[in-house]
Chain A
Amino acid sequence: MKTLSRIYTVLVFAFLYAPIIVLIVFSFNLSSSTIVFDGFSLQWYKALIKDGNTLRALYNTIILAVSSSIIATILGTSAAVGIEKYKKSAFRSTIIGVTNVPMMNPEIVTGISMMLLFVFIGRALRIESVLGFGTLLIAHVTFNLPYVILTVLPKLRQTDKNLSEAALDLGCTPLASFFKVVLPSIMPAIITGLIMAFTLSLDDFIISYFTSGPGFQTLPIAIFSMTKKRIKPDMYALSALIFVSILVLLILYNSIQIKSEKKPDKE
């Protein structure tokens, strides 16, 4: 039974990693073939560095992810604080229901619905090409928001009501008690929400695909337009680099988490 489950686990992970291993191997290929390995070379990595378009797209992606996740976190946290105050009311469940919409909807529907809105407004205001950084930012903030709200809200519910009352009792104003007591205690959830929003935004293709214009390309969109043609291993090289950097980040994050859990005063 034990060996059986081990074999099974290995097979599942082999399946998950097969294409990743293939693309990492072929990123070092001498020729541009992605089927036959002709020899080791770093030429695709060099080509990648020289390729200004790809670097530009990478830069755009990061700018977009940073700004959209920060806006979503601020907006989402304040939303959660407000929603929490509504207790059990029809209004509250309506807000939560609406918040769930971008999570439940297929991404393609979210994408085209926002595109329709933007195009309609663009026509109404007679703006030539409405789709660009602004529309992308709005779209990303919108699909990030539910994740932030739905991580902060439970934490907010968990926090001891007595905490803020104790702060008021000790002479804090309501505002000061929020910043001094409530905010620090929901901070871990806010950070989790921020990280989640950031990674979702980095990785998003479908919604961006419908809400971006030719003037502002993110990395996934750049990759998409490249995969429309015959792909060259420089894309593989880029993916390999992304893979390695995410791997390093995750290991780092994980070891920090383990360290903080070892402390007795964990959350």
Chain B
Amino acid sequence: MRNQSALRSKLVSSPYILWAILFIIAPMIFVVYYSFTTASGDFTLDNIKFLSKYLPTFLRSIWFGIVATLICLLIAFPTSYIISQKSDKMQRTLILLVMLPMWMSFLIRTYSWMAILQDTGLINSFLIKIGIDPVHMINTGGAVILGMVYNFLPYMIMPIYSVMAKLDFSMIEACQDLGGNKINVIRRCIIPLSMPGIVSGITMVFVPSVSTFYISQKLGGGSFDLIGDVIERQFQQSYNYNLGASLSLVLMILILVCMAVMNRFSGDEGEMVI
């Protein structure tokens, strides 16, 4: 009777299992399949060989992703700490304010940065007005990284904050008690204790930064192609699905490797914190 009902409960998950096989596993198999075939379906390694042409793009994507992630971390860590020290009501309000921009289309927010950064944009017209030479900002690598930092900063603040908010304050007192000054408290106590949040923040910023295609098009002006742009073009313009699939496959493996390295760094604490 007991076993029977347990079995029945297990069966409840079978629709999902079917769904996962059809729409999570099967698409992954298709990525692999397309990577190693020609448009007519014959086996080939040409797509993989062709990839070396895109090596600079891959490197640039990774480089931009790392820089954007680091900047996000540098901005988010103090911000999260400051927020976590406020009163409950204030914390709630500030976190709401952090999340609010995430609910707006990132396309429009990115587009709005164009208006700010353009050569004739808001910052430069302000600079001209106060008599300083305008600065060329749009269509530079810096603008692309700024776009990434801007769009993904909340993804860094949220997980770090949620760990810090739960941080037992007596840990910090214990650290002071054992002779730790302010720097010791941050280095030996707050950073290691917020590690789960930092790791998941890094994941949540790095992955979309590396794979983005819209930000680089709008703020980089097409001269800073990232791997996402190349993939997007294969599917929406040149219709070379096979090349696109192999690029995606490499991107996927690349990110998996980065995550594995990352988790190795953080020890066994690297669980996901949403």
Contacts and interface: CB of A to CB of B under 8 A. Distances in A.
**A adjacent to B, CB under 8 Å:** yes
Interface of A: 5, 8-9, 12-13, 15-20, 22-23, 26, 34-36, 75-76, 78-83, 85-86, 95, 98-110, 112-117, 119-120, 138-139, 141-142, 145, 147, 149-151, 174, 199, 203, 205, 209-210, 219-220, 223-224, 227, 231, 235-236, 239, 242-243, 246-247, 250, 254, 258
Given A98-B20, A203-B103, A250-B96, A109 B30 contact: no
Nearest to A168: B5
B198 interface: no
Contacts of B94: 9
Nearest to B107: A223
Given A12-B75, A108-B213, A254-B92, A205 B97 contact: no
B259 A104 contact: yes
A223 B108 CA distance: 8
B241 A116 contact: yes
Q: Chain B interface secondary structure, helix, strand, loop or mixed?
A: helix
B109 A19 contact: yes
A16 B232 contact: no
A150 B94 CA distance: 26
Interface string B21-36: 0011111101100100
Interface string B1-31: 0000110111111111101100111111011
Contacts of A174: 5, 8
Contacts of B210: 106
Given A104-B207, A203-B103, A203-B105, A83 B13 contact: yes
A116 to B, nearest CB: 4
Interface of B: 5-6, 8-17, 19-20, 23-28, 30-31, 34, 75, 78-79, 82-83, 92, 94, 96-113, 115-116, 118, 120-122, 125, 150, 153-154, 203, 207-208, 210-211, 213-214, 218, 228, 231-232, 235-236, 241, 244-245, 248, 251-252, 255, 259, 272, 274
26 contacts: A5-B82, A9-B79, A16-B97, A16-B101, A19-B112, A75-B16, A78-B12, A82-B13, A82-B16, A95-B13, A107-B208, A107-B211, A109-B248, A109-B251, A112-B231, A112-B244, A113-B27, A113-B31, A116-B34, A117-B26, A117-B30, A141-B23, A219-B105, A246-B100, A250-B100, A258-B92
A99 B207 contact: no
Contacts of B103: 199, 203, 246, 250
B16 A231 contact: no
Nearest to B207: A106
A98 B25 contact: yes
A78 B150 contact: no
A8 B213 CA distance: 31
A82 B100 contact: no
A25 to B, nearest CB: 10
Given A19-B116, A210-B235, A239 B9 contact: no
Contact of B17 (A19, A95, A107, A138): A95
Nearest to A261: B88
B31 A112 contact: yes
Contacts of B10: 82, 85-86
Contact of A13 (B97, B120, B252): B97
Given A108-B213, A210-B235, A79 B105 contact: no
Contacts of A75: 15-16, 19
A73 to B, nearest CB: 12
Among B103, B208, B255, the one with the most A-chain Cβ atoms within 10 Å of its Cβ is B103
Contacts of A15: 150, 153
Contacts of A105: 252, 255
Contacts of B5: 174
A202 to B, nearest CB: 8
Contact of B6 (A85, A227, A247): A85
A82 B9 CA distance: 5
Nearest to A245: B103
B100 A247 contact: yes
A19 B113 contact: yes
Contacts of A116: 27, 30-31, 34, 241, 245
Given A16-B98, A109-B252, A22 B20 contact: no
